[in-house]
Structure 1
Amino acid sequence: VLVPKTGPAQKLLEATYLKVENALRSVTQRNGDVAPPKAFNLRFYSVAGHRVDHVLDGSERMSELGNPGVSDIVAELQSPESNLDVIAPAAAAAVAAAQDDDAGDGSRMETDDVVVFEKSCTEIEVFHFYRELNHAHSVPFLFKVYPGELWPATWARLERKLGLGEKELKNLGVVYGAQGVHELRRCRVIQDGEGGASPGSGQGTPSVTPPPPQAQQPSEDVEVDDGTPSDREMTTAEDNSTLCLWDVIQQTRAEEQQRLRTMEDDPNNLAQMPAMGPPAGFIGLNHIDRSSRHRGAHHERAIRILN
């Protein structure tokens, strides 16, 4: 895709959309389908250091989007999650029950319920890292979180988005962190990898055997940040079948706001690292980068298309 370097980002968005449309048309024609490709949505955002930096709306100048080789532009091919077959049944049931006391088992939702459900969702960043949050890799993306949806249903949607094999998924460690969090010890562990390795700790966290007394554990694994409730620190994932990520986000945001208010009174904390990603925070996927492709010293900007 070639666009003027001094032009608006809208030119990039339009050119990329046209190129993706032509590619989809070529695929359908090879499959013997003469119908035009279905309408689709593309969302563009800039990525710096394998983290989402900014969602593009087309009003930016190309010269404002960072330096090639340092930041990339990602075009995400969005699927309509308003489809009832895609929306997690648990979340749909929760919303239907809240909307109508006579909703029964909540197995179906009316059109108005779907609209309300979609508007009530929030988005978080999902990125990949290995052992520590600053060791990020691969391409991040934004992911919807719905109120009332339990973690197994959320994880099922995330699995479809990632498109990884069963073995790779079992080895993923999953943590949640609030916006602006840069230390793994301040994240909440949603689930461990197959080996029971607690993300970022470098040590195993047994899922059945109770952990040893706190005095015998390395302090870096259990240390609680000042002003942050201890039950948030490196929480294990044994109860994630009843965990609702939406509730975790709301609780964590309230805790972080309280912590920041406490830090404002300390002049030593005036210099803070810039917050990355959307206000709802992030999901970190802890695993080895097995598909890293280093770009050469080129002067073109990478545009990656995510499904």
Structure 2
Amino acid sequence: MPVVELGQVPAGLLTELTDAGLDVEALWRHLTLALLEDVPPGTEDTTSAATITDDARAAGAFVARESGVVSGLGVAALVFHAVMGDTVDVTDRLPDGSRVSAGDVVMRVSGPARGLLTAERTALNFASHLSGVSTATARWVEALEGTGAKVLDTRKTLPGWRDLQKYAVRTGGGVNHRFGLHDMAMVKDNHVVAAGGVVPALEAVRRAYPGLPVEVEVQDLDELRQVLEAGAERILLDNMSTADMAEAVRVTDGRAVLEASGGLTIDRAREVGETGVDFLSVGALTHSVTVFDLGLDLDEE
């Protein structure tokens, strides 16, 4: 299936995606591969080719089938432009991060009928998944409201989707943790074993990468006291009880940023937030999210 050149995409859309922190060229490669899963080179959308004339045009609406927070609508618009270039019009698109209810129109599209139906599933796949991430994140944000704690994502993302999933976390009101293994060091239990202790591991990272942000995972209050004495500035409280997290906050007394992790559920979110920790890291925002139900409804003649 031919995909148009990136230069045929409206410049305003590309600027919007770039300003949102997305790598447009990487995104273009991603969605191109997704489109080729449906229509490999030398093939066509057989059903649309058989039932729709070359010159037929159509219009329709992306409609929310449930309540939540939408995200990825700009990405969905990019999919339509990838298939149809400037022959498609995308209008009435809600900003990513908008709260919607079942039945709300979140975007309208019009253009060649075959192109709309060829691009439909890929566009929905992106927008439905990212809206699911944003909706899940927004639920955690709401649960933590008033506690001072913020919900944080992790590196437990779908391969190839990290940039997009972390974007969707932001549109849902969450905060991004490190992007990869390069932009922040995190001393975890296996590093502690390899280095011979939590403080030696912390000091080894500091020597090797001075100036790089470092977070240290601790298993108990004794390890917490050790890394505080060593001057740790960010500490992850791994699988601690609510009582131990509250004690960790008391012991730390503002000397380090504290992040709760492990075994967290949304039912416990407020309880954990009220201990005084700064962040709750939640892998489920990205690794096991339920897609948001969106559909494309073509207008009837």
- Is this a same-fold pair by TM over 0.5? no
TM-score, with length taken from structure 2: 0.29
Bigger Rg, structure 1 or 2: 2
Q: Which has the higher helix share?
A: 2
